[in-house]
Structure 1
Amino acid sequence: MTVIDAHHHLWDLGVRDQKWIDGPELAPLRRSFLLPELAAEAREAGVEATVLVQTVTVAEETPEFLALAADSAAGGGGLIGGVVGWTDLTSPGVAEELARLLSLPGGGFLRGIRHQVQGEPDPDWLTRPEVLRGLRAVAAAGLVYDLVVLPHQLPAATRAAAAVPGLTFVLDHLGKPPIASGEPEPWAGRVRELAALPNTVCKLSGMLTEADRRSWTVDDLRPYADTVIDAFGPRRLMFGSDWPVSTLAAGYGEVVAVTGELLTALTPAERDEVWAGTARRTYRLAPAGGR
């Protein structure tokens, strides 16, 4: 079985602070998480390739990630198959900035763009005219757009995806359903509306940290996983570890194992899509040894 981890992060607190890591509950994340540590965890879990995803809205981070992916490939390890970076979608020069990023060392690893929409106070931020213009530039650059949104922002995400049909929208973490409260609505209805659009894909990721981190069970997760499996189908669903944020609730290998339990009702071919096929198509990842 081939496994691609389509969603993880890395950060070095010696390079810059991660100001979002605040409060006692996130204290275990207040250290550097670097590629060698991830590589050891991922290889032990049988992961072939990964997608490194932006963490902060800082322009310097994306070029750093691209260079890291290129250096890793040059060293023969090549774990990072693609990067989802950040740029200011509202900038009039967004198309030129995307072209610049693609021309940088490692620019060929850029596969998508993401913005911390979950932190925007305007629930309709994604449908602002300047944002839609930026999303069209992302599509024109041949990239995808990762959605990190909260349930109340899903309707705007659906309208944005409908307005830019040439862009693939990738829903991170199932749209952050309220797993801890055990109340799937209105999240479930809203995520089904998004999934009804053909240019949308979903990551089976981030569930453990939306559940009760100390006492979650697989049964707590299953209704939410089943909802997106049914709504998107295996060919539009992909695995992501959300490491190291996931370490607040479980180790890397446990996240992989739990995901496997949630996929037991699928056929082997369908499981292969979730584990690798969807991520490979969406992020245009080369086969092992092909990078």
Structure 2
Amino acid sequence: MSGAPPRRPTRSAPVVDAHHHLWDLSVRDQDWITGPDMAPIRRDFGIADLAPEARAAGVGATVLVQTVTVADETPEFLALADRNELIAGVVGWTDLTAPGIADTLAALRELPGGDKLVGIRHQVQGEPDPQWLLRPDVRYGLAAVADAGLAYDLIVLPHQLPAATAVAALLPQLTFVLDHLGKPPVASGALDPWAAHIRALAARPNVVCKLSGLVTEAKWDSWTADTLRPYTETVLDAFGSARLMFGSDWPVCRLAASYAEVVDVTRTLTADLSDNERRAVFGATATAAYGL
């Protein structure tokens, strides 16, 4: 990163928010939203809630990401995207281990909004086997995702990053998108072994990374830009701006920060990049990786 004085980021190009969620608790419970600490987000969040906040921050397109391992959610999200121009892409869920995954993906593409299906994600962070991504049935499913022209979002914990690196090497034809920097231990301030794992993963050219989710990995009531800076600088050094994309992680981010605060701190943390580098982080990388 340059030692030159920070330049004010340009707002001329619309921002792509490459990671947010929506849910309606009357349609489906979000059983991960439990306990008093999570109470601020235990309510419905719809596109009407997101749109004004996103547009106020200069966001012109978003990627809606799955929240639960329920097959019905993906068609619902595609239908929502079909009705809303703001949602440019959907990262859905389907069972990677199902023998008929190729047919399932093809069927999803035929649904209303199916042209906005850009990726698949599974909550690997909840799998007890740290080698889950390397299981033969999972690798078969990931190959089907690649054959369908889709990306695969990695939602993993730091100890699962080595398996992510290994599977990315085995499937060079698949674009892997690392969510939330692999959930580094921001609250403790530790860097390794997370940083070493990140550098190994970034050595795979078919992996890109979302600059997202940091505020909720930090201490919710006391984070600052300086708290987040070591982790941002690590991924900037490892991936480069051309393989980094901004994501708000709204509404989960509301546990620690507003939408505007997440956008602002990300602009602060990338303020000394060139205009072209910031354009990559705030739009071009997501557009290329997801084919928006």
Q: Percent identity?
A: 68
2:7 alignment counterpart:
none
2:5 alignment counterpart:
none
Q: Of 233, 253, 257, which aligns to 1:246?
A: 253
1:118 alignment counterpart:
125
Q: Of 60, 72, 80, which aligns to 1:48?
A: 60
Q: Does 1:23 align with 2:35?
A: yes
Structure 1, residues 108-150: CA drift from partner, whole Å, max 9, x if none? 0000000000000000000000000000000000000000000
C-alpha distance in 2 between matches for 1:220 and 1:254: 14
How far 1:105 sits from its partner (Å)? 1.1
Q: Which stretches of structure 1, 4 residues or more, deviate above 4 A after TM superposition?
A: none
Q: Of 168, 179, 196, which aligns to 1:161?
A: 168
Q: Does 1:67 align with 2:108?
A: no
How far 1:25 sits from its partner (Å)? 1.1
How far 1:265 sits from its partner (Å)? 2.0
2:93 alignment counterpart:
86
Which amino acid is 1:70 matched to?
D
C-alpha distance in 2 between matches for 1:83 and 1:33: 16
User: More displaced, 205-214 or 261-270?
Assistant: 261-270
Which amino acid is 2:271 matched to?
T
Q: Secondary structure at the match of 1:167?
A: coil
Q: Does 1:12 align with 2:19?
A: no
1:288 alignment counterpart:
none
How far 1:268 sits from its partner (Å)? 1.1
**RMSD between aligned alpha carbons?**
0.5
* TM-score, structure 2 normalization: 0.95
Q: Of 33, 36, 39, which aligns to 2:48?
A: 36
Gaps of 5+ in 1: 73-77, 286-291
C-alpha distance in 2 between matches for 1:245 and 1:66: 21
C-alpha distance in 2 between matches for 1:191 and 1:248: 26
How far 1:257 sits from its partner (Å)? 0.3
Q: How do 1:264-275 and structure 2 match up within 5 A?
A: 264-275=271-282
Gaps of 5+ in 2: 1-10
C-alpha distance in 1 between matches for 2:67 and 2:209: 19
C-alpha distance in 2 between matches for 1:264 and 1:60: 41
How far 1:227 sits from its partner (Å)? 0.3
2:187 alignment counterpart:
180
C-alpha distance in 1 between matches for 2:91 and 2:148: 13
Which amino acid is 1:143 matched to?
L
Q: Secondary structure at the match of 1:84?
A: strand
Which amino acid is 1:28 matched to?
P
2:237 alignment counterpart:
230
Q: Of 251, 257, 260, which aligns to 2:267?
A: 260
C-alpha distance in 1 between matches for 2:166 and 2:35: 34
Aligned pair count? 280
C-alpha distance in 1 between matches for 2:47 and 2:277: 30
Structure 1, residues 29-51: CA drift from partner, whole Å, max 9, x if none? 11000000100110111100000
Q: Secondary structure at the match of 1:161?
A: helix
C-alpha distance in 1 between matches for 2:109 and 2:162: 31
Which amino acid is 1:86 matched to?
W
